[in-house]
């Protein structure tokens, strides 16, 4: 039976799904920074002159450029997907079970992204680390595309919303996701794939 105003079945209200997803994204984005490598105290302080200390910290930060690149990319992509999710939930009248299922892989990847980011931060040269990171980003984009498709298929859109616009956005997400999947594969063939991500 219909329990809430607007005949939204219990457990399908979009507000609480939004609040939960917000929290997971916010925590994952903040944890990205927790994974950043800390300089060992003895390296950057001590009996040295101030310019030497500064130079050592500078070198330390520079040596870990892979981490910082992964951090910024992961931050921007999580932010972008959150924004996409926000816009999507504003367009739907309820969260159907199928849409809920798409949240399982979506949030699983969000939660794993800081781990993948820390892995690539440890070593940009390791092809498996690069492949896992690119694969996680691809999975994030593709599950978000799947979520958009589920919205259209289940007819969960509000009456005034435009299904075609949603399909276009799902297509864009799928294409960008496929690009990341491609770089994940390329990793095994050539060496310097990471610069491609700056596109």
The residue range among 50-58, 134-142, 145-153, 171-179 that interacts with its own copies, by the rule CB under 8 A, is 50-58
Q: Which stretch binds its own copies (CB under 8 A): 136-144, 153-161, 175-183?
A: 153-161
Contact predicate 155/94, CB 8 Å: no
Could you say whether residue 167 binds its own copies (CB under 8 A)? no
Q: Is 174 in the site for its own copies (CB under 8 A)?
A: no
Q: Closest Cα to residue 82, out of 20, 5, 157?
A: 20
Helical spans, DSSP H, in the chain: 14-34, 41-44, 50-63, 65-91, 97-122, 127-153, 163-186
Q: If binding is defined by CB under 8 A, does position 53 make contact with its own copies?
A: yes
Q: Is 7 in the site for its own copies (CB under 8 A)?
A: no
* Nearest residue (CB) to its own copies, 1 versus 195: 1
Please count the other Cβ atoms lying within 10 Å of the Cβ belonging to residue 23: 10
Sites for its own copies among residues 107-136 (CB under 8 A): 107-108, 111-112, 114-115, 118-119, 122-123, 125-129
Residues 90, 102: Cα–Cα separation, whole Å = 17
Q: Is 182 in the site for its own copies (CB under 8 A)?
A: no
Asked whether position 155 contacts its own copies by CB under 8 A, the answer is no
Which residue stretch of 16-24, 135-143, 146-154, 171-179 sits at the interface with its own copies (rule: CB under 8 A)? 16-24
Tell the burial category of 184 from Cβ atoms under 10 Å away from its Cβ (0-12, 13-18, 19+): buried
Within 21-40, which residues bind its own copies (CB under 8 A)?
22-34, 36, 38-39
**φ, ψ (nearest 5 deg) of residue 92:** -105, 155
């Amino acid at each position: 039976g219909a329990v809430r105003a607007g005949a939204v079945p219990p457990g399908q209200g979009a507000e609480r799904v939004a609040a939960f997803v917000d929290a997971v994204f916010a925590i994952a984005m903040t944890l990205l920074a927790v994974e950043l490598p800390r300089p060992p105290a003895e390296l950057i302080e001590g009996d040295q002159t101030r310019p030497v200390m500064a130079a050592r910290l500078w070198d330390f930060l520079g040596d870990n450029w892979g981490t910082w690149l992964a951090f910024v990319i992961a931050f921007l992509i999580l932010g972008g997907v959150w924004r996409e999710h926000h816009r999507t939930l504003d367009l739907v009248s309820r969260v159907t079970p199928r849409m809920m299922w798409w949240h399982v892989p979506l949030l699983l990847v969000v939660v794993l992204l800081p781990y993948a980011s820390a892995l690539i931060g440890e070593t940009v040269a390791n092809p498996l680390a690069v492949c896992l990171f690119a694969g996680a980003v691809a999975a994030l984009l593709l599950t978000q595309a799947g979520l958009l498709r589920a919205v259209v298929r289940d007819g969960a859109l509000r009456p005034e919303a435009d299904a075609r616009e949603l399909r276009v956005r799902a297509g864009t997400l799928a294409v960008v996701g496929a690009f990341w999947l491609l770089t994940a594969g390329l990793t095994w063939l050539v060496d310097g794939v990471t610069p491609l991500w700056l596109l």
